[in-house]
Structure 1
Amino acid sequence: MRCYVVASSFCASALGLLLASAPAQAAEFTDLLDAADDFDDFQEDTYDPFDFHIEPSFRFDISSAQITREAPCVPDLDRFADEPAVFNNPRVVEDEGRCSEPSMVFNREMLYEHTRSTMDVELRAGLYKDLELHLTVPYVINSARGLKYDNESNLPGQQVDETNSSVDPSNARVEQRAGQVFDDNMSIEEQLRAFDQYNVYRFFDLSDDHRQIERSGFADPTIGIAWAPFNDQRDDTKATLLFGMDYTMPIAPVKEADDKDVGEGKHVLHWKIASSKRFDWIEPYFGIEYFLPIAASDSPIRKVDSQNEGQVFTNPPMRGDVTIGTEFIPYQNDETGERYAIDLRFTMGYVSEGRDYTPLYDHMVNSDCNRKTVADVLPKFENGQLTNPEDVACAWIVQRPGNADPNPVYDLASMSQEDRQETLFRTDGIMTVEDYGTFAGQVGFYLQPSRYFQLNAIAQLKHRQEHFLTNARTGRDIDNDAEETDDDTVDLTGSDAQFERNPVYNPTYDSSGNRFRIQEYNTWSFIVNAALQF
């Protein structure tokens, strides 16, 4: 009887399990193995001394979404030209049809697609009566993330390419904007200050040969235990009630730039409580789950600077799910072990705010802008013409303090000439993600022709509500007694910036008016699971 859904292979492990040796069975959602079990009737033919399952599962996921970006909108540019969000901002939208007063709108930017094929092997053993131990080892056969210009609209003016993209603009746009902000008579300090007015960046390449980034390899394994104190198989006056806890171990290599690994560097604790009750040929069930991830010591999600108090989030988002469903059993033969069932399920979930991998991750860490210095991104002119537009378009990389290696740099102007030449800036690709809700529906078919073998097929559609992918706070004000400058604000420059500015905050994509948002985010999942039952 299955009790618990393991964190590293949620659907494939949770749905594909069945106990064949018992004369009656719980729903797949509440099924777990038992052992040393005589069902309290002391009959030799019902005695079950040992239960062990080997369960390989194949899962294929395909996700798609639209990624948009905030932009300030005004109905009349001349009337609001002095507004801070409008002044010298080439991303301002002037359109009475989109806003009747100054506000934020969302511009189309990219289309996202992700396909992932996974093979899981789960080992399950009954320990004693309604107590089960299980271990899942997942292997990612292929994970391919793709981003491209959102240019599939048939509406006039709705297509995105290098002429209007704020992610991968043309060199001509970079040169034009740089010519408006910089000139070849500026000192380095003046150029650094002028970056506050410059905002035409190339975050990564969206050309055809850079759309897909692939990964594969072993993912983090999960071990867990499940227990059912009440079981309607033993006492039909009670509903099955069970508890489970799993632990995902962050032992797989953590994915980074320039590798193909899939590990995420997270300790994940997963608790579940579920209940089901059989009524003739139907069995409704209900469950609550909670996932608590904790960043491992080698995770890029961890606290970046131990001396800094401005980093608001230092762990991945937490998650909670509520599941309701019903299993329909049109045929079951206790003597032969045959059983056929259909499962309909609906899950509602909530994901909290936190730092995490996002659909932008692979393209950010593999950006050509990684490993740039401040000297690289400063504009260089020859005869009044910008000579390094590719580098200037990467200036966003130096505006996040935590990108500096090995120690964060909170004030670029305070860097020595040597440090400007030698300190490399590189992004870890982790973003502060806004909280959001999830909704999922699925159907499963469980086919068990004998007591020793089962084959399951599951299809699921999951929708994530729209949310910001880049939502870091500017920082956090420290105790006034510890400040050199006594105030109640977050200091982004000056002596107190090293304590108060969030080292993972980047104004080029975290500030209001520049944030990226994901919407229409849907995932189809198809799972095939086999169970060899001993």
Structure 2
Amino acid sequence: MSRLRATLAALLLGAPLAAHAADVTRIASSFDEDDPFDLFLDVSFERTQTRSKITREQLDPLGENGRADVSEVWHKSTDSRLNLRMAIGLYKDLELSFGLPLILQQNDSYSFVSGTSAENSTLVRNCINPDGTIIDPNCTTDRTGERALFTVPSTHKRGGLGNMHFGLAYAFFNQQRDETKPMWIVGLDYEAPTAKMRDPSENNTGDERGNVGDRVHKYTFYTTLSRKMGVAEPYFKVHYTLPVQGPGIYSNCFNPETQGRPENCFQDPWSRKETGIQAPQTGGFLFGTEFTPFNDRTKNQKFALDFRIIGNYVGDGRYYNELSAGLGRLLATQDYFQVGGRLGAVASAGEAFTLRASGMFLYNTDHTLTNETIGQDRDRNGGVDVNGEGEPSPEVNPNFDFRTDLVSRRFRATESKVFRLELSASFAF
């Protein structure tokens, strides 16, 4: 009965064990003598804006390798969401968490860069079909049959419930139990493909919003260390995400008009798994320090500043990138790095309520957006046969678009920058 009364008191009054740990190593813990139960409820608003210049390869004998990149359009994506998260202490230093994002808007917008217009843009002045044939013999001279790759300017809209998250974390060391040890947490976060599947071929430039799901399982493994040293608490975190195709994945073959070789769709070896979404593996690290210039333990009031350096690696894959909304398809994307930083502030009005605010900046290294391989050398004759004997070659990748994936026609993302603002409130019980 005494244990039950203590648990009920913790539910009503709150007694978070991790009140004085750095945010990055906060963990819900239960069944402690002075803290029988922990429950955290987090509500945050997050707005992310990405801006990239999209260039296109063109033949140029004076350029690098006989090619040069020509500026085409600016791409701007805006993602606003409400993140809901609950963490429960299952046992001492063992946490189970649940999360669900409500995506208020996820928009992609395109506009011409300075000096480019509908009169000189290769996006508009396109005379090639996806299979590489010419639309009309007179297209290049008098623009007969000219067909734009997509409309510029334009805005594509999406929104709705995102993928659910489930997490499990354990603190092998807890500095609040043993001051000679740091905080050391190891965890697994699982993102389930619960959101409705996004169809990139849908026209979402009107009032109706498209879906946001990618139908991919994502398993994120991470470990975090921190150690309190006076007013400073330095920390370090590494993470790695492994994606696995889930049920009902999207394939560009569902929309054969965008395929260079639609007749090869779902024919061996071009199965739905092979031609569908292939999310990238990602990994990264962050290190920083939380400074606490004000900390009144008697009233459980605290104010801290958080400085953080971030580095991420995004592997190659076929997924929704900066150009997917415009071209209406999944695109094979080159790997790239993200580097940047984050500045945040944390204020606790009491042991049961905490406010957080942060701003983050990331720079993405330049990367190719249309990087599909032309096919597979199935007969092992030293190359991919683009044209078969009297019939289309089964070696050609149906995803290969001769308008965008051929060398000298590929698109790249350059000068790519990410800005994120986050405001959150946390309730501890």
Scaled by the length of structure 1, the TM-score of the pair is 0.68
Pairing partner for 1:31 from 22, 26, 31: 26
Pairing partner for 2:269 from 301, 305, 308: 308
- The corresponding residue for 1:161 is 117
Q: Say if 1:360 and 1:102 are closer, same or farther in 2 by CA, change over 3 A.
A: closer
Q: Match for 1:222: what amino acid?
A: H
Pairing partner for 1:60 from 47, 70, 76: 47
Aligned-partner SS, 1:362: helix
Structure-to-structure mapping, 1:367-386, within 5 angstroms: none
Instruction: Check the 8 A contact 1:71/1:107 in 2, yes or no.
Output: yes
Instruction: Check the 8 A contact 2:18/2:27 in 1, yes or no.
Output: no
Q: Say if 1:141 and 1:181 are closer, same or farther in 2 by CA, change over 3 A.
A: closer
Q: Match for 1:50: what amino acid?
A: F
CA distance in 2, matches of 1:127, 1:221: 20
Instruction: Check the 8 A contact 2:48/2:420 in 1, yes or no.
Output: yes
Q: Match for 1:59: what amino acid?
A: E
Pairing partner for 2:168 from 222, 225, 246: 225
Instruction: Check the 8 A contact 2:353/2:427 in 1, yes or no.
Output: yes
Are 1:212 and 2:107 matched, yes or no?
Answer: no
Q: Match for 1:279: what amino acid?
A: M
Q: Match for 2:425: what amino acid?
A: A
CA distance in 2, matches of 1:128, 1:346: 32
Pairing partner for 1:492 from 358, 376, 386: 386
Aligned-partner SS, 1:168: coil
Structure-to-structure mapping, 1:399-410, within 5 angstroms: none
Are 1:441 and 2:336 matched, yes or no?
Answer: no
- The corresponding residue for 1:192 is none
The superposition leaves residues 44-98 of structure 1 with CA deviations (integer Å, 9 ceiling, x where unpaired) of xxx11111122111011111110000001025xxxxxxxxxxxxxxxxxxxxxxx
- The corresponding residue for 1:88 is none
Are 1:513 and 2:408 matched, yes or no?
Answer: yes
CA distance in 1, matches of 2:69, 2:146: 17
- The corresponding residue for 1:450 is 350
The superposition leaves residues 192-233 of structure 1 with CA deviations (integer Å, 9 ceiling, x where unpaired) of xxxxxx9965111114xxx11111111111111110111111
Q: Match for 1:161: what amino acid?
A: S
How far did residue 500 of structure 1 move? Answer: 2.1
Are 1:139 and 2:134 matched, yes or no?
Answer: no
Instruction: Check the 8 A contact 2:250/2:276 in 1, yes or no.
Output: no
Q: Match for 2:426: what amino acid?
A: A
Q: Say if 1:290 and 1:301 are closer, same or farther in 2 by CA, change over 3 A.
A: farther
Deviating more after overlay: 58-67 vs 295-304: 295-304
How far did residue 144 of structure 1 move? Answer: 1.8
CA distance in 2, matches of 1:113, 1:23: 39
Deviating more after overlay: 20-29 vs 517-526: 20-29
Instruction: Check the 8 A contact 1:24/1:233 in 2, yes or no.
Output: no
The superposition leaves residues 398-437 of structure 1 with CA deviations (integer Å, 9 ceiling, x where unpaired) of xxxxxxxxxxxxxxxxxxxxxxxxxxxxxxx100000111
Instruction: Check the 8 A contact 2:15/2:38 in 1, yes or no.
Output: no
How far did residue 22 of structure 1 move? Answer: 2.8
The superposition leaves residues 95-123 of structure 1 with CA deviations (integer Å, 9 ceiling, x where unpaired) of xxxx4x86110001001111121001111
Are 1:22 and 2:22 matched, yes or no?
Answer: no
CA distance in 2, matches of 1:23, 1:296: 36
CA distance in 2, matches of 1:333, 1:36: 26
5+ residue gaps, structure 2:
1-13, 128-133, 204-208, 254-264
Q: Match for 1:225: what amino acid?
A: L
Q: Say if 1:321 and 1:179 are closer, same or farther in 2 by CA, change over 3 A.
A: same
- The corresponding residue for 1:280 is 230
- The corresponding residue for 2:257 is none
How far did residue 497 of structure 1 move? Answer: 5.8
The superposition leaves residues 409-467 of structure 1 with CA deviations (integer Å, 9 ceiling, x where unpaired) of xxxxxxxxxxxxxxxxxxxx100000111112001100101011111001001111110
CA distance in 2, matches of 1:440, 1:297: 35
Aligned-partner SS, 1:178: coil
How far did residue 334 of structure 1 move? Answer: 2.5
- The corresponding residue for 1:400 is none
CA distance in 1, matches of 2:71, 2:307: 36
Q: Say if 1:138 and 1:102 are closer, same or farther in 2 by CA, change over 3 A.
A: closer
- The corresponding residue for 1:178 is 136
Instruction: Check the 8 A contact 1:23/1:334 in 2, yes or no.
Output: no
Q: Match for 2:421: what amino acid?
A: F
RMSD of equivalent CA atoms: 2.6
Instruction: Check the 8 A contact 1:290/1:320 in 2, yes or no.
Output: yes
- The corresponding residue for 2:283 is 320
Instruction: Check the 8 A contact 1:309/1:478 in 2, yes or no.
Output: no
Scaled by the length of structure 2, the TM-score of the pair is 0.84
- The corresponding residue for 1:267 is 217
The superposition leaves residues 469-499 of structure 1 with CA deviations (integer Å, 9 ceiling, x where unpaired) of 000111121254xxxxxx2211122169654
Of Structure 1 and Structure 2, the greater strand share is in 2
How far did residue 21 of structure 1 move? Answer: 2.7
Are 1:110 and 2:73 matched, yes or no?
Answer: yes
Aligned-partner SS, 1:432: strand
Q: Say if 1:328 and 1:288 are closer, same or farther in 2 by CA, change over 3 A.
A: same
- The corresponding residue for 2:316 is 353
The superposition leaves residues 373-411 of structure 1 with CA deviations (integer Å, 9 ceiling, x where unpaired) of xxxxxxxxxxxxxxxxxxxxxxxxxxxxxxxxxxxxxxx
How far did residue 364 of structure 1 move? Answer: 2.0
Q: Match for 1:298: what amino acid?
A: G
CA distance in 2, matches of 1:362, 1:60: 19
Number of matched pairs: 387
Percent identity between the two aligned chains:
27
Q: Say if 1:497 and 1:29 are closer, same or farther in 2 by CA, change over 3 A.
A: farther
5+ residue gaps, structure 1:
1-18, 39-46, 76-98, 152-158, 184-197, 366-428, 481-486
CA distance in 1, matches of 2:54, 2:145: 19
Instruction: Check the 8 A contact 1:163/1:170 in 2, yes or no.
Output: no
